[in-house]
A and B are shown apart, each in its own frame.
Chain A
Amino acid sequence: MSQIQNIAPAVPLPARTSTQRPGMYIYDQYDQRLVDERVSQFRDQTQRYLAGELGADEFMALRLMNGLYIQTHAPMLRIAIPYGLFSSDQMRMLAHIARKYDKGYGHFTTRQNIQFNWPKLETVPDILADLASVQMHAIQTSGNCIRNTTTDPLAGVAADELEDPRPYCEIIRQWSTLHPEFAYLPRKFKIAVTGASRDRAATLVHDIGLRLVKNEIGDIGFQVSVGGGLGRTPIIGQTIRPFLEKQHLLSYLEAIVRVYNLKGRRDNKYKARIKILVSAMGMEAFRALVDKEWNNNKDKLILDTAEINRVKAFFAPLPYDVSAAADKRHEGYANNSSDFSRWLKYNTFDHKVDGYRGVFISLKAPGIAPGDITDKQMDLAAELADRYSAGLIRSTYEQNLVLSDIKQGDLYPLWQSLHQHGLATPTIGTLNDMICCPGLDFCELANASSIDVADMIQRRFDNLDYLYDLGEIRLKMSGCMNGCAHHAIGHIGILGVDKKGEEWYQLTLGGYAETTAELGQRLGRAVSKDEVADAVENIAHVYVEQRIEGEQFIDTFQRIGIVPFQERVYADH
């Protein structure tokens, strides 16, 4: 066979348990054949590139659509975790990949995917083949195409949910996978779906945002927003259609993307996103074009109820144990262990079923890059998912993991395992649970490092009681204006900039996207790396002094505005 296939020594794949689990989509022969064929196709493309038969520019477009970047130190491979849901078997495969092809760790991203920073180009076809063996792929995780659809990491178990968005995410995944019309769009295209009242998927800063809503006669459909996005020109999406019937979901998406494909700018990559097109045309004109396209295909491309129900069946609620609520051992443990009690309060969340809780696996341990996880931790998470949570794991927008269905009686032993392995840092939702891109240490786009600054901030706020007193503060830090960490919608946003070869940091305050959305306001001139933690501490002081009973940081900011924060942070200058 080929040279490439012979490079990697044969290591047995990790043992597989049953993939026939409830609670997630399972491939049939078609889905499996597609990923298998895609691996063969990319293996051939890689061989032709290495043989000099395929140019670097042509190969770039092909490898990006298979998740492969060429980065500062090595290639980076981004693997799709469709809408952030995966199984213990799939997690074990990620651990195997980390060990065999990388340096023993991976990095979870804000788009619920995982990245490996050190694979060798020649081994990527083998990695993709390993992924395909557990129903995974890296298709369209980069490139100017429709990317991985993201959603609420608490989908299906959240108490504030109207309807589970994941079946629609899967339907969109299939529709967008290798869509022949949309592989060479002007720029990347991101879709997010939520079914809850609190928007944990930041839908309004996506190219298309879909929110499940009920109309006046009680039917559930989608509120569709378009033209949101962060990056260099952050823009909040606008509603293009307040209510879209489910049967028209695909035809309407197709109409929007077709208009974008034909009309989006291609002369300047910084002005090529759909948000620029919508802003330039105005929503009314854009909507008119979409409606015209939609009229051509809405009767031809109906999303059948039968298909919706077929996909929904995969996500049916787990067989919950009705006696779970009677087991209250965790309360006794909480009385005896302040560590467990803190974790219980901050790292678990209400489940829609009495007697169950959802659990965050924190990837924000001090001294570790936010979102990073080792192969051993991956294996442990897989084992705990099997033991306690139906073998299912979710990755979150905030770069943590979730075990969504934990019996309350299992919380204490689960915490013990997580705690032992550095996965129980009890800071979910606090300032130290920050979102952070890989920054200058890994990314060739970055202007400034972010991981070391994250560490400095986390050390500054290492007093847990103080951190808890500050309440919910969403801190988001990007190493450049491409904004992968969504700093523009951080309650506190930090943007790394380059000034004459030095790293500086621009702060913004008051951004959010949890219900409606707003962009943060610039605090003032950028500060040096040494001053970032001071600035954040000063911002926290202003909040503590000015807050009135019950106010979270974002409430206080909206009431008092940015000036008191500016006066404090720049007081010495």
Chain B
Amino acid sequence: MQIIKNHQIVEDQWQHIPDIVEGVEATPLPTGNIIVPLALWQTDKEQLLQHTGVLGIRLNSDHDVADISAYLSHFAIIALQFPSFRDGRSYSMASALRQHYGYTGELRAVGNVLRDQLGYMARAGFDAFEIDPTQKIEDALNAFNEISVKYQASSDEPLPLYRRRA
């Protein structure tokens, strides 16, 4: 699968481990780089720390980033879900991870990730995007530079415009 990372289309090297579903036996973890759901991390932390590949974690929009704040160094990727493009909680979760918790790894938007929200997502701190399959990924690349003026301090810009006005 192709994703956008740092404003470029790249081949994804990661596998998502599906959410735990009650009554369904979990399949054994594959080798390589994996992104695991928060629930799996919370139940199988010790086993996951022994995993040979690199580890990422996936949070739903109703999760609390404080629950993983003590373990950020274990994750090369934090993936935040957009169940719908209208659900804006992950913007605030991304801001908290970048600006408050100082997370510097990959922050990946997953779910209903559409071209017309990419500008906001990038400003909030996302640097990787699993573009919704309904979207043309090449077109989506155009979305990042539509608005160049940033009034606010955010994850992509430490100072508000009033400290930068020439």
Contacts and interface: CB of A to CB of B under 8 A. Distances in A.
A2 to B, nearest CB: 15
Interface stretch (A176-184, A235-243, A327-335): A176-184
Given A33-B148, A181-B154, A304 B162 contact: yes
Contacts of A182: 88, 91
A275 to B, nearest CB: 19
27 contacts: A37-B146, A37-B148, A38-B147, A40-B146, A54-B116, A61-B85, A61-B86, A144-B86, A174-B162, A175-B151, A180-B91, A180-B152, A181-B91, A181-B92, A183-B91, A183-B117, A184-B117, A185-B88, A250-B160, A258-B92, A261-B91, A266-B87, A296-B96, A296-B99, A296-B100, A297-B100, A307-B163
A566 interface: no
B24 interface: no
Interface of B: 85-89, 91-93, 95-96, 99-100, 114, 116-117, 119-124, 146-149, 151-154, 160-163, 165-166
B43 to A, nearest CB: 24
B114 A58 contact: yes
Contacts of B92: 181, 258, 261-262
Interface residues of A, number: 41
Contact of B160 (A33, A175, A186): A175
A301 B85 contact: no
Majority SS of interface residues in chain A? helix
A184 B86 contact: yes
Nearest to B112: A58
A30 B153 contact: no
Interface string A149-182: 0000000000000000000000000110111111
A219 interface: no
A573 interface: no
Contacts, number: 100
Given A144-B86, A307-B162, A301 B91 contact: no
A310 interface: yes
Given A28-B165, A40-B146, A183 B89 contact: no
A297 B99 contact: yes
B165 A301 contact: no
Contacts of A180: 91, 95, 119-124, 152, 154
Contacts of B121: 180
A62 interface: yes
Contacts of A300: 99, 153
A71 interface: no
Contacts of B96: 296
Nearest to B90: A184
A61 B85 CA distance: 9
A244 B21 CA distance: 47
A420 B87 CA distance: 52
Given A41-B146, A58-B114, A184 B152 contact: no
Contacts of B120: 178, 180-181, 183-184
A28 B161 CA distance: 12
Interface in A227-250: 250
Contacts of A258: 92, 95
Given A33-B149, A58-B116, A261 B88 contact: yes
